[in-house]
């Protein structure tokens, strides 16, 4: 069996359990794509899963949910994509039956169901596209959970993080919030304003109890609603994307993974109303994944931590390179 380079771990633990190794190259089955990864993004779930069995899976595990890349082969029944298409998506369906995939996106090649990905907007780089899927799907789900209506006001806890930067933009440009407030620390205040926040609260200088105005929706991206709940109107929805929610009124927002949701965002992305935000320390090279995790785990990232380039970036993006005749499944993939 032919192998590819991937970051993997064979036991739970800190980032030091990660190692660069060889992982079998997968074969796309019915309704699946084989994608040559050009960029990937890291998410907190990646290190939480590595530190403890949040989602059980067999070892070795290759971490990673988000990716953008090029279709190099497809299984039977695939109708939406062709070999050579540039796609992006979150390959891990958290609501699917069974364990999460062993092979995450920190590898040269991944398989993914065609329903989980969308064509990459032409104006986005692979790095920008890879930064979006899990974070934007999480952001959208929170508004759905709250049954948010246009014209309402929203208070966002954590406006500069991977999810928060998208929540601010979606509130203003997609969901029609009449007034958007977000919290962040002093160095990021002006940055969060550029995303569309009408007001930015520096949480290092202002306490929630000092905020007189009350809001129609409290969206907590950092798990601090045990303190921030005071800014919500009586009976207003409070959504917490961390588990477990830190206040009895808060509702945990789960996640729907869908390529269709990504496709619906295309006009907002291509018009520039919705922008990908990559932390300025990156992108991190594929060889620097451990350093990228170190930085992500500080909780200080502005936007998303992205990995690029990948070793496969310098390989031809075609089925023949991987032993797949005409880009279709044809026995074990080879390199």
User: How many Cα atoms are found within 13 Å in the side-chain-facing hemisphere of 272?
Assistant: 1
Mean pLDDT (10-residue bins), the chain, 335 residues: 94 96 96 98 94 81 97 97 98 80 97 98 97 97 97 97 96 97 95 97 96 98 95 97 91 90 95 95 97 95 96 60 47 32
Q: What beta strand segments (E) does the chain contain? A: 3-8, 19-24, 32-42, 66-74, 86-90, 109-113, 117-119, 153-157, 179-184, 199-202, 217-220, 238-240, 250-252, 305-307
Query: Please, what sign has the CA dihedral across residues 63, 296, 135, 125?
Result: negative
Helix/strand number for the chain, H first, E second: 9, 14
**Residue written as tokens 């993939």?**
333
Instruction: Give the integer Cα–Cα distance in Å for 134 and 186.
Output: 27
Q: What is the DSSP string of 118-175?
A: EEPPTTS-HHHHHTSHHHHHHHHHHHHHHT--TT-EEEEE-SSSTTHHHHHHHHHHTS
User: How many Cα atoms are found within 13 Å in the side-chain-facing hemisphere of 223?
Assistant: 6
All domains of the chain, ordered by start, with CATH? 3-132+276-327 (3.90.180.10), 135-252 (3.40.50.720)
Q: How many residues does the chain have?
A: 335
Which residues lie below 8 Å from residue 136, measured CB to CB, with a gap of 6+? 166, 170, 261, 262, 265
Which residues lie below 8 Å from residue 235, measured CB to CB, with a gap of 6+? none
Which residues lie below 8 Å from residue 282, measured CB to CB, with a gap of 6+? 292, 305, 306, 307
Instruction: Give the integer Cα–Cα distance in Å for 231 and 261.
Output: 30
- Give the pLDDT of residue 56: 67
SS3 of residue 179 by DSSP: strand
- Give the pLDDT of residue 137: 96
């Amino acid at each position: 069996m032919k192998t590819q380079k991937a970051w993997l771990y064979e036991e739970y633990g800190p980032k030091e359990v990660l190692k660069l190794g060889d992982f079998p190259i997968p074969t796309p089955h019915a309704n699946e794509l084989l994608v040559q990864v050009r960029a990937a993004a890291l998410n907190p779930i990646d290190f939480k899963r590595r530190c403890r069995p949040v989602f059980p899976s067999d070892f070795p595990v290759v971490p990673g949910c988000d990716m953008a890349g090029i279709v190099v082969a497809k299984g039977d029944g695939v109708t939406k994509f062709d070999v050579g298409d540039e796609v992006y998506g979150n390959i891990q369906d958290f609501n699917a039956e069974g364990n999460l995939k062993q092979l995450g996106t920190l590898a040269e090649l991944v398989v993914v169901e065609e329903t989980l990905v969308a064509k990459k907007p032409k104006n986005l780089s692979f790095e920008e596209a890879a930064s979006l899927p899990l974070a934007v799907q999480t952001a959208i789900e929170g508004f759905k959970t709250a049954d948010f209506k246009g014209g309402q006001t929203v208070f966002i806890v954590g406006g500069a993080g991977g999810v928060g930067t998208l929540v601010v933009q979606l509130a203003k440009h997609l969901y029609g919030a009449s007034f958007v407030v977000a919290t962040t620390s002093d160095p990021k205040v002006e940055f969060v304003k550029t995303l569309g926040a009408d007001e930015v609260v520096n949480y290092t200088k202002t306490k929630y109890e000092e905020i007189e105005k009350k809001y129609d929706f409290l969206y907590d991206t950092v798990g601090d609603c045990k303190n921030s709940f005071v800014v919500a109107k009586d009976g207003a929805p409070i959504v917490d994307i961390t588990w477990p929610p830190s206040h009895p009124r808060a509702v945990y927002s789960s996640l729907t993974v869908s390529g269709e949701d990504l496709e619906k965002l295309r006009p907002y992305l291509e018009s520039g109303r919705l922008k990908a935000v990559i932390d300025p320390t990156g992108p991190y090279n594929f060889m620097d994944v451990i350093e990228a995790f170190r930085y992500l785990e500080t909780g200080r990232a502005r936007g998303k931590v992205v990995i690029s380039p990948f070793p496969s970036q310098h390989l031809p993006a075609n089925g023949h390179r991987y032993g797949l005749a005409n880009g279709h499944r044809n026995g074990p993939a080879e390199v």
